[in-house]
């Protein structure tokens, strides 16, 4: 990626970063009594919340980020790494919809590299040549699993693995440090999650082999053995890896671990605030916005469900700015 290709875009992003939500803003949101109070604050920050449900304005904010990127970046394929999971989600959704034989509303995700209509057509006609090469084998395998065994959990596992492999390959081939780090973190988080869940539910080695995705910073063979041996073995294995500080969060709860992963990602991308070149600051902004949307969603759903402030605060992510 040419260093000077994104100077204009990065300058715009630097200005946009000024309007990202800060930690103090989240504290303000948390101390609000109602969702309405929260939306008033968000409106002051330029969010278009008027006459919209939280889901609607959160989705609108995500769309704003992507339309900004489309405006500034000529070749949007540089962001494919963020969109592959949506492609594979759409594939899962299409297979399930065809399997169930009825239309499920709002099941497909926008902002994917392949049009969901094409994915649905490929699955309906069982013509996977309509899909990109990286999805064909996965589609064929997942389709067979669901239609022959009806095991949707196994199908999800298979598709998730292909999705992570596509994301990982894209990250490593990008020759961009941020994308490579993002891919590594995503795969590591998924592998640790699989290990923990498998240890709790005593999954067999055949399942682990199907679910784990190879990566640079985890030894899959050792993690498989640890998963079969139990939770304490997983913690013992992680103690000797770069992710030893995740153990406390894993012990606490799955949502605490998810929060740790997001915070770690923010730590890793934060240096991009001072990088005036390359695509990395743009990618970091996309991730920062996603993190921001996730945090606002947590606060709003906490308010809607009447959760105490302490419970919401526990799930709060660290902000990029």
Shortest Å distance, C-beta 79 to another protein: 18
Shortest Å distance, C-beta 274 to another protein: 8
Shortest Å distance, C-beta 176 to another protein: 18
Classify residue 36 by burial, with Cβ atoms within 10 Å: 0-12, 13-18, 19+: exposed
Q: Is the dihedral of CA 287, 289, 295, 301 positive or negative?
A: negative
* Extended beta strands in the chain, E state: none
Quote the radius of gyration of the chain (alpha carbons, Å): 20
Cβ proximity to another protein, 15 vs 106, nearer residue = 15
Indicate the SS3 state at residue 306.
coil
Among 149, 171, 168, 150, smallest CA distance to 160 is for 168
Query: How far is Cα 153 from Cα 167, in angstroms, rounded to an integer?
Result: 21
Element (H, E) at 197: helix 177-201
Give the distance, in angstroms, between the CA of residue 203 and the centroid of all CA atoms in the same chain.
25
Shortest Å distance, C-beta 114 to another protein: 31
Cβ proximity to another protein, 3 vs 310, nearer residue = 3
Binding site for another protein (CB under 8 A): 4, 7-12, 14-18, 274, 276-277
Shortest Å distance, C-beta 19 to another protein: 10
Cβ proximity to another protein, 17 vs 258, nearer residue = 17
Cβ proximity to another protein, 11 vs 311, nearer residue = 11
Q: What are the Cα distances from residue 263, in Å, to 156, 203, 235? A: 26, 29, 20
Residue 131, token pair as written in the block = 């899909």
Q: Which residues in 97-108 are b (16+ Cβ under 10 Å) and which e?
A: bbeeeeeeeeeb
213 neighbors 168 (Cβ within 8 angstroms):
yes
Cβ proximity to another protein, 14 vs 52, nearer residue = 14
Shortest Å distance, C-beta 319 to another protein: 15
Shortest Å distance, C-beta 15 to another protein: 3
Cβ proximity to another protein, 25 vs 113, nearer residue = 25
Among 189, 190, 319, smallest CA distance to 267 is for 319
Cβ proximity to another protein, 14 vs 172, nearer residue = 14
Shortest Å distance, C-beta 50 to another protein: 23
Classify residue 142 by burial, with Cβ atoms within 10 Å: 0-12, 13-18, 19+: buried
Cβ proximity to another protein, 261 vs 282, nearer residue = 282
């Amino acid at each position: 990626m040419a260093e000077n290709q994104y100077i204009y875009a990065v300058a715009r992003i630097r200005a946009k970063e000024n309007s990202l939500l800060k930690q103090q803003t989240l504290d303000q949101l948390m101390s609000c009594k109602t969702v309405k109070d929260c939306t008033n604050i968000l409106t002051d920050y330029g969010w278009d919340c008027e006459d919209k449900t939280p889901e609607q304005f959160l989705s609108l904010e995500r769309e704003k980020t992507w339309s900004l990127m489309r405006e500034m970046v000529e070749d949007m394929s540089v962001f494919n790494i963020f969109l592959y999971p949506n492609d594979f989600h759409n594939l899962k959704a299409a297979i399930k919809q065809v399997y169930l034989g009825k239309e499920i509303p709002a099941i497909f995700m926008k902002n994917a590299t392949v049009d969901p209509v094409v994915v649905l057509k490929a699955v309906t006609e069982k013509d996977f040549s309509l899909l990109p090469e990286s999805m064909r084998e996965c589609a064929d395998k997942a389709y067979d699993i669901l239609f022959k065994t009806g095991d949707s959990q196994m199908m999800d596992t298979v598709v998730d693995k292909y999705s992570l492999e596509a994301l990982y390959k894209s990250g490593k081939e990008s020759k961009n440090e941020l994308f490579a780090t993002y891919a590594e973190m995503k795969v590591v988080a998924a592998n640790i999650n699989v290990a923990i869940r498998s240890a709790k539910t005593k999954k067999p080695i055949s399942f682990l082999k199907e679910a784990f995705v190879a990566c640079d910073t985890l030894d899959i063979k050792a993690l498989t053995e640890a998963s079969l041996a139990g939770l304490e073995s997983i913690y013992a294995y992680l103690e000797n890896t770069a992710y030893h500080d995740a153990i406390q969060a894993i012990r606490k709860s799955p949502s605490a671990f998810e929060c740790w992963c997001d915070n770690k990602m923010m730590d890793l991308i934060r240096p991009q605030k001072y990088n005036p070149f390359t695509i990395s600051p743009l990618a970091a902004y996309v991730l920062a916005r996603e993190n921001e949307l996730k945090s606002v969603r947590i606060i709003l759903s906490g308010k809607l469900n009447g959760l105490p402030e302490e419970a919401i605060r526990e799930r709060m992510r660290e902000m990029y700015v």
